[in-house]
Structure formats: structure tokens, C-alpha cells
Structure 1
Amino acid sequence: MPAMIQVGYYPGCALHGTAAEFDGSLRAVCQAMEITLTELADWNCCGASSAHFLDEQLALDLAERNLRLAVQVGPELLAPCAACFHRLKTAQKQRPGYDVHIWHVNEFFARPEGLARLRRRVQRPLRGLACVPYYGCLTQRQPKITDAERPEWPTSMDMLLETLGAKVRRWSYKTDCCGGSLEVARPDLVQHLCTRLVRAAQEAGADCIVTACPMCQANLDISQASPSAPGEPDRRSAVRDSTAKPEAKPAEAAAWPLPTEGEEGLGQAEPAGGGV
């Protein structure tokens, strides 16, 4: 990366609403890394999740309009919301002709030049913080849409966390579904899926779950707010936005004490059998 770089920025609805802290922390990180975000002028909703459930053509129209705006800004577009990223990539695949590289935050920062830039700017390493990276569905699947190289075993967030000094725990739930927008229609199902994720993180010896998806973070937080059933272990854990600035010392970051024993950090290794 050059000394100062400029990239188009599509925040989407969530980062101007329920995930406003994601927007704020991402802007702060980019400023520290000398990356200029140029927000698309007059951008509109990408269509997730309502539009593509109800009207496929309308969903494509909404996303395509943002692509028209993006090509006017430059050759690269950063879409931090996983759902927005997926809808923009879908429109680009189905309506070709928009020559812009759409990045999700994990892959954008995990490029070799991005990791080098990040490494030089770390001022407070996350030593003592054990975490599991949770990618969710939409940045990885379907690979023909997302262009994910390893959709069942992504490593971009792992590399970012290790560069920041955190201890990455090995677990097999990186890309399991949290339930997404089913929180509205089937909260019982989302509760089941998220409880399984939190328990797996605890079993891996993690202090926190790190995610870069606003919907995943919301679902995981909501599921922990619900009391555990009688006889069940407490499932409370810390769920952190992958770009959020630490508010406490690493050893104090977890909202609930979790086991300290577990498998070692993973680097680039893939589980036996080729994935989850």
C-alpha cells in the first residue's frame, strides 16, 4: 500500500443505525492506518434482507445503483457489512460491467501490505486475550458469488488477530450460521444456533468471539441476554466487533470468565478432513 490510500466506502444501513459503533471504529482504524474512506454520495439500501426475499429484480436494482456510484469513486470499494458485501457481489456477478473490486474488511486489511501497515501501528498488543474468529455465512458462501478462496476455512481474521497480538483458539465453527434475520420470525431457532456457538467458544478456551458482521454480533449478544435453562452452563461471553477499539485491558475484556485450557492458536493450519 502507498503512504496514503483512498478507497470507496459503502457503510450500508446497519452502520448508520444499530451498528454505528462499527462505522466509528472502522473510520478510526483507517485514519490511524492512513487510509481515506470516500463514502458513496447518496447511497441507498442494498436490499438485504427484505428485498431479496420478496423481489429478486428489485434487490438487484438496489445493489446495482450503488455499483454505479462506486465506479465513479475509484477501483476499490469497502463494504464492511457482510450482508451488504454479499448483495453488492451478487449484483456485480449477475449484472456485469462494473469494474470495481468489492472488499470485505477482513480481506481488505489481511492483504500482505495491509498486515505490514497494521503491524507497524500496533501500540497496545492484545496479549493475554484468547479469541475465536467468527466469519459467519455471507462473506464466504457461495464462493461463486463471494470469490472466497477457502469458504469453509477462512483465515483472514485469524491473521489480523494474531498480528494484533491476540491468541487465536482453534475451533470448527468459523462459518456456521447464527440464524441471520430469522431472529424476527424464529427467535427460538436463532437462540439454539447462537447458544451452540457460544458453548463451542467456551470449550475452545476463548475469552471472546470476534465477528465483523453486524447481524452476527446482534444475534450472539441477544442470545446471551436470554437466561440459560435450568441445569445448563452459563453461556455468557464477550462478543467483539473485529474493528472495535479495546475498552479494557486484554485480561479484563471478557464479560464472563471462561476456561483457560484449550487448543493452541492456529496460524494457517486447516483441520483434518479439509474443513468444518
Structure 2
Amino acid sequence: MKLAYYPGCSLEATAKEFDISVRAVCQGLDIELVEIPDWTCCGATSAHATNHSLSVGLPALTVKQIQDMGMDCVVPCSACFNRLKTAEYYMIHDSSKCEEMEKLLNFKFDGKPRVYDLLAYMVEKIGLKTITQKVQKPLKNLKIACYYGCLSVRPGEITGIDNTENPMQMDKLLKALGATVIPWSYKVECCGAGHSVAKSQMVTNLSGKILVKAREAGADAVVNSCPLCQTNLEMRRPPGEDLPVFFFTELMGMAFGIPEANSWCSKHLVDPSKLVDKMLG
């Protein structure tokens, strides 16, 4: 199976372990990722706050590239997915905006290749049965709090999530990997998003509460799909709080028995190696 792949900016920098694990896991599932040639920034997080046409135009360029490639596209980063899916949504449902983008980018939108959140694609298209069959080292010693954040979930009419208040895709995936998924009420709370520098105390309060609530619920770690959430949850946390945070593909790689999966831990700001040894021991 071939899929267009949009890594986005963060996966080439602060979330490099996300990109590495995505590629490794997809290879393990016999998915050939074809990176979009010369892809451009999706516009997150500032374009949509300053210029509406630009906020659609930047990701619409990627939609054009996906159409030119003739294959569906998976997007790991929640923020990138939200912007690309928003552009796709406008071009399907807003004829005037679609015409504007077609004129700007010199193409005719046919709406055939579609944009997918990688997490959703894994669960809904690849399927939990296939994923379970790949598990060699079940995560049976791991209690996980699944954290979705904002951008893979809302607004529901664009993201197509199963439930905006209590999404279950990640929960189902982690259960398929053998982990114990704990119920908790903070899975879609905001981490503070892009205010980490300008309003660091606010972000520390928001991210800190998420980690505290995950620990109170009995979690050994938090798992997510957003590079910005990962950064905030690792950097903006209460003193002494050492609850690890993983990208979902990292745990997939460990459960699949991918040899290099343990090395991804070295790229984390909060060292999860002791927990990894415990859950794979």
C-alpha cells in the first residue's frame, strides 16, 4: 500500500522521534510512505489568525500536491492535520473558496485523494485486527492515559472524530497493543498550545494539571499525537513531575518489537527509559 506522507515542520525538528517511529511502524505494516515532494508549511499556528485566505492557501497547496500524486495522504501531526483537513473541508463545502484556491494555485480540485489523521487511518483503515497481529511484545505492564488535545478532535465537522468529548481511537489502538487504558476526564483538555513562550505560566498551569490528573487516575505515562502537546507536556510541568509522555507510534514500535524502538527514548526531554524497561521486561 502506498500513501502520500506529510511530515510537517515539527517532525523534522523537535519531534524527530515521531517521524522516525512513524516511518518504522508503517514499514512494519507494509505501508510505503511517499513523502510529498517539496512540501510547504501548513500555516500553523499563525496564518489562520492573521489572514484567512493565506490560512487556507498554504494547506490547499498541499491538497493540490496530494491530488497530483493521486493517493490518499496521512498526517501524523495533529496541528498539520487540522490545517490540511480544514483546507480540504472548505474546498469541498465552500464553492467560492474552492474557486479562489483553484485560481490561486492553478488547478481543478476533484476531491478524490483525501487527507487522513494517521491515528484515525491506523484504526479505521488498517484496522485493529491487523495491528494486533503485528504485536510481538504486548504492553501488558503499561497503564496509559490517552491524550488527544484539541486539534485532532475539534471541530468535529472537519476532523470527523468519533466523539469530540470522549474520542476512543487512541484508546482502542493502545488496547490492541496490550496496554491498560485508564478512564480519565482530561483527554481533550488544552495544553496551552502555542503560548508556551509568551504565556509560559499559563501553559505550565494547563499542562501541569493534565499530568497531575493522569497520575491521579493511575497512569504510568501519557500518550499523544501532537508535537506541540508533547513539547508543552515535557517542558511545562510542575517541579518534580516525571510522568513520561509518548507519541502513539513509539509505543506501536515497541509492541511490534522493532529493534531500534528503545533508542527513540533518548530524544525525549523527560527520560522514559525506566518505564520502557519495565513494560518490555
**TM-score, normalization by structure 1:** 0.84
**Counterpart residue number, 1:188:** 201
1:172 maps to 2:194:
no
Deviations for 1:98-157, whole angstroms, at most 9, x for unmatched residues?
322211121111126421221111111111110110000001101122122311111110
**Match runs of 1:8-23 below 5 Å:** 8-23=4-19
Deviation for aligned residue 1:254: 6.9
Stretch of structure 1 that moved more, 176-185 or 90-99: 90-99
Q: In 2, distance between residues paired with 1:74 and 1:119?
A: 29
Q: In 1, distance between residues paired with 2:273 and 2:178?
A: 13
Aligned match of 2:275 in 245, 253, 260? 253
1:216 maps to 2:229:
yes
**Match runs of 1:82-161 below 5 Å:** 82-96=78-92, 97=109, 98-111=111-124, 113-161=126-174
Q: In 2, distance between residues paired with 1:240 and 1:148?
A: 21
Aligned match of 1:235 in 241, 248, 258? 241
Deviations for 1:171-209, whole angstroms, at most 9, x for unmatched residues?
011111001101122111110001110111011100000
Q: In 1, distance between residues paired with 2:83 and 2:230?
A: 19
Deviation for aligned residue 1:83: 0.6
Q: Is contact 1:208–1:254 with CA below 8 Å preserved after alignment?
A: no
Q: Is contact 1:89–1:102 with CA below 8 Å preserved after alignment?
A: yes
Counterpart amino acid of residue 151 in structure 2? L
How many residue pairs get aligned? The number is 243
Structure number having the greater helix percentage: 2
Counterpart amino acid of residue 209 in structure 2? R
Q: Is contact 1:38–1:73 with CA below 8 Å preserved after alignment?
A: no
Which segments of 5 or more consecutive residues in structure 2 lack a partner in the other structure?
93-108, 255-261, 266-271
**Counterpart residue number, 2:51:** 55
Q: Alpha carbon RMSD of aligned pairs, Å? A: 1.9
SS state of the match for residue 103, structure 1?
strand
Q: Is contact 1:70–1:100 with CA below 8 Å preserved after alignment?
A: yes
Aligned match of 2:66 in 65, 70, 84? 70
Q: Is contact 2:162–2:168 with CA below 8 Å preserved after alignment?
A: no
Q: Is contact 1:129–1:251 with CA below 8 Å preserved after alignment?
A: no
* Percent identity of paired positions between Structure 1 and Structure 2: 39
Q: Is contact 2:75–2:116 with CA below 8 Å preserved after alignment?
A: yes
SS state of the match for residue 80, structure 2?
helix
Stretch of structure 1 that moved more, 167-176 or 67-76: 67-76
Q: In 2, distance between residues paired with 1:129 and 1:81?
A: 24
Q: Is contact 1:45–1:62 with CA below 8 Å preserved after alignment?
A: yes
Stretch of structure 1 that moved more, 192-201 or 102-111: 102-111
**Counterpart residue number, 2:102:** none
Q: In 2, distance between residues paired with 1:181 and 1:99?
A: 33
SS state of the match for residue 95, structure 1?
helix
Q: In 1, distance between residues paired with 2:273 and 2:36?
A: 39
**TM-score, normalization by structure 2:** 0.82
SS state of the match for residue 57, structure 2?
helix
**Counterpart residue number, 1:43:** 39
Q: Is contact 2:143–2:218 with CA below 8 Å preserved after alignment?
A: yes
Counterpart amino acid of residue 205 in structure 1? G
Q: Is contact 1:207–1:254 with CA below 8 Å preserved after alignment?
A: no
Q: Is contact 2:4–2:69 with CA below 8 Å preserved after alignment?
A: yes
**Counterpart residue number, 2:28:** 32
